[in-house]
Structures are given as C-alpha cells and as structure tokens.
Structure 1
Amino acid sequence: MKKLNNTLPNFTQAISQLIAQPSISSSQASWDQSNESVINLLSTWFDSLGFSVNIQAVPSAKGKFNMLAKIGSGHGGLLLAGHSDTVPFDENRWLTDPLKVTDSDNKLFGLGSCDMKGFFAFILQACKQLDFASIKKPLYVLATADEETTMAGARFFSNSQIIKPDVAIIGEPTNLVPVVMHKGHMSHKISIKGQAGHSSKPASGVNAIEIMYQVISELFKLREHLNLSYQNEAFDVQTPTLNLGAIRGGDNANRICGHCELDIDMRSLPGMMDEELIAWLAKALQPIAEKYPGRLTIAELDPSSPSFQQTAESELVRTAEKFSGHHCCAVNYATEAPFIQQLGCQTIVMGPGSIDQAHQPNEFLAHSEIIKTDLLLKKLINHYCF
C-alpha cells in the first residue's frame, strides 16, 4: 500500500517549502491570499505516500481550499488536522525574511513555523517512516483554510460530515500539552449614527462620540457582571472576557462627530451559549438605543467560534497524557476543535511549539521540539491505526 518515494523532502526541507508558499488570511482584502499553493504542495506529498487525496473549494471563501488525505480503510481511525493559513506580518519587525526558514540559535524562524505549517511537515516525516501495509484503521490528514479569520474551512468540513474518525488531534502549538478546553470567541461592531454640525453650536447636532461614551460605560458594567457571575478555575483567566479592541469616530476638532464605531470581542467559557452573550449585550445597550432611536446598531464582525470541551476522562485524553508526559489543560484562545468535534469524535488540541510564538514577529519552532514531536506522532498513529 505504501509507495516508496525517495524524492520527498526531509523535515527542514518540508517546513521550508511550506513557509515559502504565502497563504495569509485576513479580513483586509489587501492582505488576504489564496492557500492553494500550500494545499497543492501537501497533496503532492501525501499522494506520493499512497494516500488518497481530496481537495475541496471552500464555498464561502473565494480562492480557499481544504485538503483531506486518507490512507487505510474501514471505520474510525485517527484524524490529524491543522490550518494552512497564517496571519499577516510586519516585515519591519522581523529580523529575518518571514517567508524563508532561517536556522539560528537552535530555532527555525519563519511565518507559520509553529502556527502551524510545521505540524504538516511533522506528519509527513512520521508517515515516511511507517509501513502502511498492515494498517487496520484509516489515518486522515486535514488541512483547512481561513482559520485565522472566519474558520470557514473547518466550518465547511464539519458540515460536510464526510468522515467519522474515532479521535482527532489538532496540531496547534501547545508545547505538546493536551488541551481539552478553550473559550469561545465572538466579535461585534457597535455603530453610532450622530448628526454632524459646527462645534460652536452643540445643540445643532448629535455627537456620536458622546453617545459612544455612554455605550462604553454600559459595556464596563456588563463586563463586571460577567466577571462576578461566571468563573472556571481550569483557565488562567477564569472569567469570560469583553475587550474594547478598536474605536473610530470624528474627523476634526471643530466638528460635532457624526459617526463613531467600536469593535469589541467577547470570549465565553464552556457551557455559555453565544445566544446568551448576544442577549446580554443587547440588553445592556437597550436603554441607550431607546434614548437615541435609530442611532445605535450592533453587527457581527466575523462568525462566532464556540467554546470547546472534551471530557478529561476520555480514552484519547488518557492516551495523549501518557504518550506526551503532560497533564491536560485549558487555554484562553479559540481553535477549530469545536468544529472538528462535531464529526462525533473525541478531540484534543496538541502540537509542537509555543502559543507565545504565534502571531509574533520572529516566530520560531525550537529544535528541541523535533524529535519529541516525531516520536509522539508515530506513537499516536500506531496506537489508533495499527
């Protein structure tokens, strides 16, 4: 079943080739790119190893693609999943070329080295060392699109329900610690429509900044209510969060501000529903909306990502803890895990590298991760597929 192919790259070559293919996803059109070149590269590699490869265009994201590679037959098996895109970068803050791997100080520097193109290079190397002739359950490799923005790839794949693995591991950077819980994420734009006018006659206009000041006051009250009412000790930030991320309004000191916008995000604890948070937000701002009819609107910025929780008593968690040598934990950031979990499989997040490096200039993957990750992946594949 396994095809011998001596032309496949080694680990350093593979991660270098992946990083050299730009695949930025961004809500700003000037930054946003297709991930097709990364998907085609991965497809070529896994096809050479004897995997059947299926590339699907993501309907809600133009120029974006998912790849599912499969080897073995039957039911269940193991899904190794990750995203093929990266965040934008500020080249002036990088000490090296972000699209070229630089090997320095026992680290591999490059955009996506840990978040998370490196994970696919690890999967490739592990698979090169395995003899799939005796495989008993299927091994799947999933590369998704647009995780860094809308998670459109994972949403589409989850809705397709084309596979039913027993277990799934998403290789986000966790220092190989099994993550079994994370917060949800939603973002909204609050807009105030005022009435512009000359600043010398305040009564002739409606100042949108002044109304937004009242909005912010109510948001602080809502945040305090959430902090007092909801806690989960598994997280280092034990409460839901509400962040005021960006504000825009006005154009000149001597004009009454005619329009003001505030972008916020909220991160929910497991067990909290998106509908609850939206209802609380609307209720908090209702008095202002009634005071200024037709001037306040709330709109979703990006589709929300639900919170995630995998029971710590599951077989996958016990196995991951045993093989990795780490106890499971919870994290504050969001991943594709809740969408993959909808396939009906036990799901964890566990991968090489540190989340502290993700989305940062001079992102790197430490050499010390290479042998540990290779051994861990081979143990997991053997355990669930052979």
Structure 2
Amino acid sequence: MTAVPDLHTCFKTLIASPSISSLDPSQDQANDQLIQHLHHWLTDLGFRCEVKQVISSRGKQNLLASIVPPDSRGGLLLSGHTDTVPFDQQRWNSDPFTLTEKDGRWYGLGSCDMKGFFALIIAALQELPLTELKRPLYILATADEETTMNGAKAFAAERKIQPDYAIIGEPTGLRPVYMHKGHLAKGIRITGRSGHSSDPELGLNAIEIINLAISQLLKLREHLKQGYQESVFSVPYPTLNLGHIHGGDAANRICGCCELHLDLRPIPGIPLPDLEVLLRQYLMPITDQYPDSLEIFNLYPGSEAFKGDASSDWSQQVAALSGQQPEVVNYATEAPYLQQLGCQTLVLGPGHIAQAHQPDEYLEMQYLQPTVRLIKELIYNACLI
C-alpha cells in the first residue's frame, strides 16, 4: 500500500541516524537526517508534514505531521523527541548506531529514549484505516529535549494546533504519568579579593562569603520543605541539593573566588521564575553586605514541573487501555510545554527510564507489540469513534 518499511527496518534506520544534543558545540549534532526519514514515511502514510527550524538550536528542526478531516477539531497528538544524549563508546558492547538484537532486547542509542517510539507509531499507523479518521491526528517530533527543550517550547508558543489529548512517548513502562517535578540548576560565584594569608585585612575571602550564602540556602531549603507539599511524590516537597563547590588555590592565600553548584527540583505550582525570585531573596543579605561579590547564573536551561489530572476522562481511559493506573515520576519531560496547547496530557511509552542515558541502552522486545496495540487503541478512541 505504501513504501513505508516494517518495524525492524524503521527502528534500525532511526537508530542509525545520529542526533545527539549537547550544550558542548563539539558534540552537538543536527537532527535533519532523522526528520527526513519521518517526513518520508509519514507523507507516504497520508500525513501532511511541516518542518520548521527551531530558533536557538544550531539548526535543529521540529516536524509536525497532520491528518485533519474536513470540519473536524480536537483529536490526538503523539509526540516524541528526536535527540539523544552523548555516549561513551568505550562503555558500549555494541555499536550505538547499529540496532543489535540480543537476549530479547533491541540495543541502540535512543532505543528506549526515545527514537523507538517513532518506529512503533509508524508500525501502528500502517494497521489503521487513516482515511476514516473523524478527528485530527498529529505526530510531533521535537528537537533538543535532552538539553534546552527549545523544540517543545517553540512549538507550544506557536499554538499551531489544539488537540484534545496528547501522549508523550517517554519510557514509562507503558504506565500513564500525569505529574512530575521540574528542574533548575544554578551556579553561585563569589568574587572576593586574594591576598597573603598572613594579613586577612588585605583580602576578601570568597570561601567565608560562600559559607554565609550556604547558610541562607539551607534556610531556603527548609522554607521549600515546610511551605510546599505534594503528597503523591515519594519526596513530597521541593528539594535543594548543594552538589559541587570549588574555590581557592593554596592554603597560604586568601581565596579570591569560590563557586557553588546547586540543584532545585520544584513540585507543580512553583514556576521556575518564582523559584529564581525566592533564590535571590534568600541571598539578598549577602549581596547587601558584599555588593558586586555574588553572581547567580544558569548551569543549563531548566524545565518546568508538570501536573495533569489523574481523574480526568482521558487519564482513566488510558489507564483502562494500558491496564496501569496513572502515576507520578521524578524526571522531567516536555509535558508542561505541550500541555500549553490546551490538551489533556500524559507521558506514556515503552521501556524504562533506568535504561535511558546508559551505556548499552535497550528496549525489551516484549514491549514491541503491546506498544503498537496500545497506540492503535489510543488513536481509535481519540480519532476514529
């Protein structure tokens, strides 16, 4: 009927299309090869495909494929990201860009996180009467989820479509996820004044100032713990971790510079801008006492927390189809951005997050047919009846 290849060939082709995202320009890669494959296959299946370059992404692209029946609206969005994290070749037992089958698993970079989801969507689409759709069906492939999430952010800002429902195919073990925490990574740099340790008055010790800043950060941590709660999480409050500190160069020198890196994980209801305001407020006594000595900077782009509705019709319908109750997770996804389209949003896909970002990443083959079947049922319920 079409020139679209079978599941194994699609899977193999996507794994063989490098699309690493990295904040390090020397490791960052384009995703155009993978986008071209999806464009070709989805066009052959009857979708209208649009490719758009993502601003601030070193030339990366988003792809939106659509079938919109006349006089219809709403429908379903199936979404995934095209990029992978970097890899350490020496820790892999096979070529990361070659699909390798062993012990009931398909190994390859992106096999579960999350190129494999696209191959499974293609397989499901080939078994559906797409000419009989009653409501819109959209397939979205985004750029740079692993770094900036700029692909999803840009697409959400355009408000190009208004689906009723969205599924983001991250590896959840085919369990519907309706809520997760956000993530914010900040650096604090104290610039003091170096000098000889024999006369402390000649310098301004950055280590001593960072110690004062840490005291304020611990007060912020307690404020977050006491003031914000979401009981469904295993850790039911926002967390603040002091993860890395470095300063000074010799015992007999007054430390002129000291840097602290911290990790904040907000629960839903605390937007990242509000969290940054709190951080600056708690550090204000330090900036008042030592003007121009304290700098706060981003280590890498943050991601918002996400909260859907576990009791919504969509959540309950997906729970019934998957045989799994809606749950929460601690990792971040593109869900809070795609939710801005106004759709009921869930995260659900094959494989487990424990395999993501690991050497010898794999997807268990036992997920293949159940995922194809579930995708077909989701499309049928959202778009065909």
Deviation at 1:110, TM superposition (A): 1.4
Identity %: 51
Task: Answer whether contact 1:196 1:258 (CA < 8 A) is retained.
Answer: yes
Deviation at 1:225, TM superposition (A): 2.7
Task: Tell me the equivalent position of 1:282.
Answer: 280
**Residues 78-114 of structure 1, C-alpha deviation per residue, up to 9 Å, x if partnerless?**
1000111111112222222222222111111111111
Task: Tell me the equivalent position of 2:329.
Answer: 331
Deviation at 1:124, TM superposition (A): 0.5
Cα distance change on mapping 1:271 and 1:294 into 2, 3 Å: same
Query: 5+ unaligned residues in a row in structure 2: which ranges?
Result: none
Task: Tell me the equivalent position of 1:9.
Answer: 5
Task: Tell me the equivalent position of 2:54.
Answer: 58
Give distance in 2, aligned partners of 1:312 and 1:337. 14
**Residues 146-183 of structure 1, C-alpha deviation per residue, up to 9 Å, x if partnerless?**
11111100010001111111111000111011111111
How many residue pairs match? The answer is: 382
Q: How does 1:32-111 map to 2 (within 5 A)?
A: 32-73=28-69, 74-111=72-109
Task: Answer whether contact 1:72 1:132 (CA < 8 A) is retained.
Answer: no
Deviation at 1:13, TM superposition (A): 1.9
**Residues 26-62 of structure 1, C-alpha deviation per residue, up to 9 Å, x if partnerless?**
1222221111111111111111111111000011212
SS in 1 for 2:140: strand
Give distance in 2, aligned partners of 1:23 and 1:216. 39
Task: Tell me the equivalent position of 1:228.
Answer: 226
Deviation at 1:199, TM superposition (A): 4.1
**Residues 172-225 of structure 1, C-alpha deviation per residue, up to 9 Å, x if partnerless?**
111011111111222222111122334454432223233223322322232233
SS in 2 for 1:153: helix
Give distance in 1, aligned partners of 2:42 and 2:249. 54
SS in 1 for 2:101: strand
Give distance in 2, aligned partners of 1:371 and 1:150. 32
Task: Answer whether contact 1:194 1:257 (CA < 8 A) is retained.
Answer: yes
Deviates more, 1:303-312 or 1:141-150: 303-312
Task: Tell me the equivalent position of 1:295.
Answer: 293
CA RMSD of aligned residues (A): 1.7
Give distance in 1, aligned partners of 2:286 and 2:279. 12
Deviation at 1:296, TM superposition (A): 0.3
Task: Answer whether contact 1:83 1:144 (CA < 8 A) is retained.
Answer: yes
Task: Answer whether contact 1:237 1:332 (CA < 8 A) is retained.
Answer: no
Any runs of at least 4 consecutive aligned residues in structure 1 with deviations exceeding 6 A, and if so which?
none
SS in 1 for 2:317: helix
Query: 5+ unaligned residues in a row in structure 1: which ranges?
Result: none
Give distance in 1, aligned partners of 2:312 and 2:351. 24
Deviation at 1:299, TM superposition (A): 2.2
Q: How does 1:1-386 map to 2 (within 5 A)?
A: 4-5=1-2, 7-73=3-69, 74-386=72-384
The residue type equivalent to 2:40 in the other structure is T
**Residues 287-324 of structure 1, C-alpha deviation per residue, up to 9 Å, x if partnerless?**
22222211001123444322111112212101100100
Tell me the TM-score normalised to structure 2 length: 0.94
